[in-house]
Amino acid sequence: MEQSYSIFLPNHLLVGAGAVEKIGEKAKELGKSHALIVTDKGVAAAGLLERVLTPLEKAGVKTHIFDQIEPNPRDRTVVKAFEFGKKRESDLIVGLGGGSPMDAAKAVGVLMTNPGPLQGYLRGGQVKNPLPTLIAIPTTAGTGSEVTQFSVVTDSERSFKAGIASPYLIPKLAIVDPLLMQSMPPSLAASTGMDALTHAIEAFVSRNAQPFSDALALHAIHLIGSYLRPSVANGSNEEARSQMAIASTLAGVAFSNAGVGLVHAMSHPLGGHFDLPHGVANAVLLPHVMGFNLISCSEKYAQVAEALGERVERLSLTEAARRAKEAVFQLSSDIGIPLRLSEVGVKAERIARVAEDAMQMKRAIGWNPRVVSQEEIEKIYREAL
């Protein structure tokens, strides 16, 4: 073998329709009695909160609900959730929702067992102590946060989306129940699905990629290419929603090990400055970044094209790699994703500052297969406008 590498896998995955009904018995098996539910008001309004509360309460687990998590969760909101849970002596944290509640739940866990302030961890501080027991339950098929070692929170002082990274952040249990994802409206199914595709593609071409992450990423790409369109078209399509749930989790494990790249380095500042939904930012940027990266990993992009259903056997390697970029752009178009940053409120006059912030995402920049400068990042932003 040419290199050694570490592999971080989920602690325990519970997958399938109706799996969430087992959360009460799982909490009791873990010896827990007070659960802090970290979620958002959209999850509650969709009736999904009751699907978690009922089995917990039947098992005799007291529940305390913090439902104020916003898209692109902010540090001060995480601190509020932490204070809320600490007063109630919570011994179990449940992150319920999309990436924002799950990431916020992880950050709450960091504060429960590690000294504050939170900003210290958002600015590179090391998480030294294991988190309290954490259960993650996704209600969207996109972020993969239920199986990753990352949490992304907005540092309000800097208007900067920053990451905390530690194996301690991998939840004790992840419950992936596609029935919780049937209520996603088409726009959310589309943006979260493209988020999962971005995770898979960036993990696949990452400098940090290895055989295990490659296998997971490539299968996730294949599933997304096959099932994202029908999942967006009809939320009642159980097969499509189930396969997208699996694809999202596979992509999450892949990028938890291989990392992400330039798309994420560029999309996080857009979230910080313009509060742009993460999946939409990724989807708009992905084909542009693929075009930039193409000369560094044509062989892998050719495999991406094939996984997305493109016929590449008679094409040259470069042509096949370009077909991957075209396939991603076509997929976004088919499912109604905005194709330009200008359509979602990004202002040209702020691009230079956003590009400067993107360069601060050193981990993602370092994993990207092609070396990039700030001037090149600014150029890609302007192309995407």
pLDDT of residue 2: 58
Q: Report residue 4's pLDDT band, with 50, 70 and 90 as the boundaries.
A: confident
Average pLDDT estimate for 247-261: 97
Residue whose structure tokens are 């301690």:
168
Average pLDDT estimate for 338-363: 94
pLDDT of residue 77: 97
Residue-wise pLDDT for 172-205, tens only, equals 999 999 999 999 999 999 999 999 999 999 999 9
Q: State yes or no: pLDDT of 1 exceeds 80.
A: no
Q: State yes or no: pLDDT of 5 exceeds 90.
A: no
Which residues on adjacent β-strands are paired with residue 174?
A: 13, 136
Average pLDDT estimate for 157-169: 91
Q: Report residue 209's pLDDT band, with 50, 70 and 90 as the boundaries.
A: very high
Average pLDDT estimate for 299-316: 96
The rounded mean pLDDT for the chain is 96
Residue-wise pLDDT for 328-350, tens only, equals 999 999 999 999 999 999 999 99
Average pLDDT estimate for 25-49: 96
* Domains along the chain with CATH numbers: 13-181 (3.40.50.1970), 186-384 (1.20.1090.10)
Which residues have CB under 8 Å from 274's CB, separation 6+?
344, 345, 346, 347
